[in-house]
Structure 1
Amino acid sequence: MGGMRVAVADVGTNSCHLLIAESRGSGYRILDALKERTRLGEYLSQGRVTEQGYVRLEEALRRFKQLAQSAGCADLRVYATSAMREALNGGEIAERLRTSTGVYPQIISGEREGALTYLGAAHSVEFSGDNLLLDLGGGSLEIARGDEREAHTVVSLPLGSVRMRLAHLQADPPGARAIRELDATVRGALLPHLKTFALREDTRVIGSSGTFEAVAGMLSARAGHGAGALGGPVNGYSFRLEELGALLDDLRKLSSAKRAKFPGLDKTRTDIIVAGLVVLHATLSALGASRVTVSEGALREGMLVEYLAQEAEWEAGLSARQRSVLEVAERFRIDLAHDRQVMTLARDLFSRLEGAGEAFPAEARSLLTAGALLHEIGLIVAQSSHHKHGHYLTRFAGLRGYEPWQVDVVALLVRYHRKSPPKSSHLEFTAISPEHQRLVVRLAAILRVADGLDRSHTQGAGITALGKHGKNWTLQVTNATELDLHGAREKRDMWESAFGPLHIEG
């Protein structure tokens, strides 16, 4: 069974990229990707994005949204980097795009871009205890240092390949003096940061960007490996500074037309590749790096990792028992995004009830979380009576970390998330202690309302307030569809038995 599907995209200086992925345990699987060569850096006039640049972005985002929706993604998260960040009308363009396409390209800082890129690279190649990541885009160069998991120091410098070509290498082919001037510009920009990024003996240097991938492709093709020439994967490819220098010497002497025929080079990069190579060579030289490893994981992959972690709050800091629940959930999952939303709403309701003075045993929150994540596993058997099928599957699924009575409670939460409340004729309910029966009733009451609030399966509803006046409760929700409101009102029967009358306001 597949997990939640998410779509992320970035709006760069040179191109826009879309990734669609599906969660897989603690990672993800790429389902689709699309690249649009928007060349935004060339559609700037007096520091502003031109109307033609806006139209190109609009067309790209419309295509991205259409592909994301057809893949079953409820949302598309888009981040914009250097070109939009520095454009005087970047914010205005972003708002126009939100209005015209329904997609909002959020402009992020260079430091945040570097941190996310580091996160993406860390999930793509093997990181050590100390790593230095270089990410060269069209507008900026990010340098990040960190450990196996995240960056601790990030610097963003205006040394992108498109920017540097326009500023220094307009001639075709560029002259030796222009190359030296660009090299000096890069080294000068790096000078204040050399101490921060000084390499240790065990520091691993990682390169992430289209330029690094292009270098790997060309060197691979030069070495007689087909992957580079055919545009195959280069993740984990390692090369020495001397090899980069030799490649730069060869390419800088060629005209753009001749570079287009260079083995292993993507023809769309022929105009910016020399500038990119000069920036990389000067940077690696200044830092004293002799070898670099290429990561295909970059900003978009970092966005995916962050997105999945945010959407699935259970993913971080899970106990052994909750990891066991997730394993079972993935084994039987029909709609993991819906189950996570129900879990989030149920936990929110639980916290607000406690805040209003309702007392629960210490393990109640954990049991509610498990019941919410597993409440629909019976759908793998049949839609009809899936709550009953789910009860059986939960009891015998092999949940770890739970006492037998706790497994019974979780299974009964699955049993009573829909249809009739517990009855004296339900042997599985009457078999547990009166204390545990009361716990099941109170937790199932919460679960039913939470499930109703995502009746549309759009994961939009949120809770803004839960208040009690006498015996009456008022629940205020936001972004709920009419179907969600109807679902919650229809399923408040057990709540009213357990806690008192419930009024739901949308």
Structure 2
Amino acid sequence: MSVRTEAVIEIGSTGIRAIIANIFDTGIYEVLERAGKPVSLGRDAFASGSISRDTIRESIAVLRGIRELLRSYGIKPESARVVATSAIREAENRDAFIDRVALRTGFKVEIVEDIEESHYMYLAVQYALGNDAKYFARSNSIIIEVGGGSTELMLLRKGRIVAAHSLRLGTVRVDEQSRAAMGVTGYLMRFLADNVRNACDSMEEELPLGGVKSFIVIGHDARFAARIAGIEGREDYRVIPKAAFVAVIDRLRSMSVDAIVSEYHLPYDQAESLVPGLVIIGLFLERTKAEELIVPNVSMREGLLVAIAGGKGGEIEDEIHTQVIASTIGLGRRYHFDEEHARNVAAHGLFLFDKLAELHGMSRRERVLLEAAAWLHDIGTFIKADGHHYHSEYIVRNSEIFGLQREDLTIVANIVRYHRKAGPSPSHINYMSLSREDRTIVLKLAAILRVADALDRGHTQRLTLEGLELKEDHLLLKTDCEGDLSMERLSLIEKGDIFEDVFGYKVVVI
């Protein structure tokens, strides 16, 4: 069994924290050491829009200390995975911050988008729950994390993600709002209640919250509540009965911050954010039918370790693919797409992709992007059928799909843009803003998608691909249809041009 030592560092809204772990080739990890220190990055970013000089200096000092710890394990700074979340993401001087950190510590900071945070949160939860995750997947679920800058939410219908949301509702951000109101009595509770109610109302169409029975929470506020009121589950998670959780909130609300620090021996900054964080969780809990809270002892950092470990035999990659497509279909349903047509086009597209692997030379990542684009290519008809490829591009570009990063969504948006009508042109800004490598991916995948779409021109799913053959300069497609194929042949004449230009084969259906 081989093992390697890795480090993950998270630069969050309330502090900088690191995990050092051994990663085994079996897809598991063993934590060797944790380190970190509170730093008020979020208070700077959310109040003034930038990170102050003093906070930058403090951050560099903390990171230098972590660098020395990593060296004792033989880990070089450039080898560590360093991620920054909402505070740095929103700071106007984020580029200067990242540059100074790199020059002074050697760490290369990667800013993760909110949808990526959800991705790593999901991985961490699945790892912590282990085989018990299958039990919780029997019912509709919510996974929630309340951070300093945002609240990350995932909605799951029987284990499949239907939506992921990032709300600008974090404990530090809320505290800044409360201070701006100058301590008006009841303001904080009204502010939280209004924001949570609006968020829940907007999610009802995606997943009726009244049917949610599994309520899974991560974050230090939830772990604190689990420590004082939770029931032992497994080693990696605890269960809090709903009544016990409400009692914890009521008790803490009656105490001052100084009293919480004194009684529970918490750092002042954590005690200060404890009540808002738990209240946010409680307000979401009230909208569900859950009678208990599941609190895994993990954070996004553990999710990063799981991603690095890779899981057993590709389990992680397979599970993420399943959730990417579930989230994609959820987005399509939100815009009332033709689901059967999309399913048919996706099946044909993947058939072509797999059978033509030697011709296109692309990887599993590009296969996922093609599948997402196939499901969503007609989503723009929700706005208007005429020119719907433009509308499809707009919707995809401005949406979130679990498991896809922003650059992935940009590629998918371009693919759906070119599923019909004219192909890419140097005058198309969104296409030309891609790297040369990504433009090539768009060309290849759009070419395949156009052929797959042409085979269901009438949206009737009247044929299925059964085989193909490359013969001289022709790609011959064999189907199970014994009827007239003139409509599909005409459609291929209109839409097969990019495939012929890119791959050098004229597509013919027989």
TM range (shorter): 0.5 to 0.7
Letter in 2 for 1:48: S
Say which of 164, 185, 189 aligns to 1:179: 189
| Structure 2 counterpart of 1:18 | 18
Offset of residue 242 of structure 1: 2.7
Counterpart position of 1:289: 290
CA contact (8 A) 1:117 1:299 kept: yes
2:243 is aligned to 242
Distance 1:56 1:315, change over 3 A: same
Q: Which residue of 1 aligns with 2:409?
A: none
Mark the CA change 1:49 to 1:234 in structure 2 (over 3 Å): closer, same or farther: farther
Q: Distance in 2 between matches of 1:199 and 1:186?
A: 12
Structure 1 counterpart of 2:57: 55
The answer on whether the counterparts of 1:119 and 1:149 sit within 8 Å (CA) in structure 2 is no
Distance 1:98 1:260, change over 3 A: same
Aligned residues of 1:169 and 1:179 also touching (Cα < 8 A): no
After TM superposition, the score normalised by the length of structure 2 is 0.55
What 5-or-longer segments of structure 1 have no aligned partner? Answer: 228-232, 318-354, 356-506
Runs of 4+ in 1 over 6 A off after TM superposition: 147-150, 169-174, 312-317
Query: Distance in 2 between the 1:169 and 1:295 partners?
Result: 32
- Map 1:154-303 → 2, pairs under 5 A: 154-168=164-178, 175-199=185-209, 203-220=213-230, 235-263=236-264, 267-303=268-304
Relative distance call for 1:4 and 1:67 in structure 2 (3 A) is: same
Q: Tell me if structure 1 keeps the 8 A contact 2:212–2:290.
A: no
Contact kept? 2:145, 2:151, Cα under 8 Å = yes
Residue 19 of structure 2 aligns with an amino acid whose one-letter code is: L
1:295 to partner: Cα distance: 0.9
For the 8 Å contact 1:140–1:157, the answer to whether it is kept is yes
Task: Write the distance in 2 (CA, Å) between the matches of 1:174 and 1:304.
Answer: 43
Give a deviation string over 1:167-186, Cα, whole Å, max 9, x none. 12689998444323322222
Query: Displacement, 1:284?
Result: 1.5
Give 1:7 deviation, angstroms: 0.6
CA 1:277–1:114: 2 relative to 1, 3 Å? same
Counterpart residue type for residue 183 of structure 1: A
Contact 1:237–1:293 (Cα < 8 Å) also in 2: yes
**Counterpart check, 1:86 vs 2:90:** yes
Query: In the aligned structure 2, how far is the partner of 1:71 from the partner of 1:275?
Result: 38
TM-score (structure 1 length as normaliser): 0.55
- The answer to whether the aligner puts 1:116 opposite 2:120 as a matched pair is yes
- Contact kept in structure 1, 2:307 and 2:316, CA below 8 Å: no
1:77 aligns with 2:81: yes
Matches of 2:146 and 2:159 in 1, distance apart? 21
1:281, 1:315 → 2: CA distance? 31
Distance 1:123 1:217 in 2: 20
Distance in 1 between the 2:272 and 2:182 partners?
9
Q: Secondary structure at the match of 1:262?
A: helix
Aligned residues: 312
1:285, 1:85 → 2: CA distance? Answer: 31
Counterpart of 1:243 in 2: which secondary structure? helix
Q: Contact conserved, 2:210 with 2:287, CA < 8 A, in 1? A: no
Cα-Cα RMSD: 3.5
Task: String of CA shifts for 1:64-84, please: whole Å, max 9, x gaps.
Answer: 222222212341111111111
- Structure 2, unaligned runs of 5 or more: 319-357, 359-510
Contact 1:173 1:254 in 2 (8 A): no
1:68 aligned residue: 70
**What CA distance in whole angstroms lies between the structure 2 residues aligned with 1:6 and 1:138?**
26
Does 252-261 or 182-191 show the bigger shift? 182-191
* Cα deviations by residue, 1:139-158 (Å, 9 ceiling, x for unpaired): 10000135899856321001
- Give % identity: 23
- Name the one with the larger helix percent: 2
Separation in structure 2 between the aligned mates of residue 262 and residue 245 of structure 1, nearest angstrom: 19
Distance in 2 of aligned mates of 1:285 and 1:169: 26
Provide the rounded CA distance (Å) in 2 between the counterparts of 1:91 and 1:197: 38
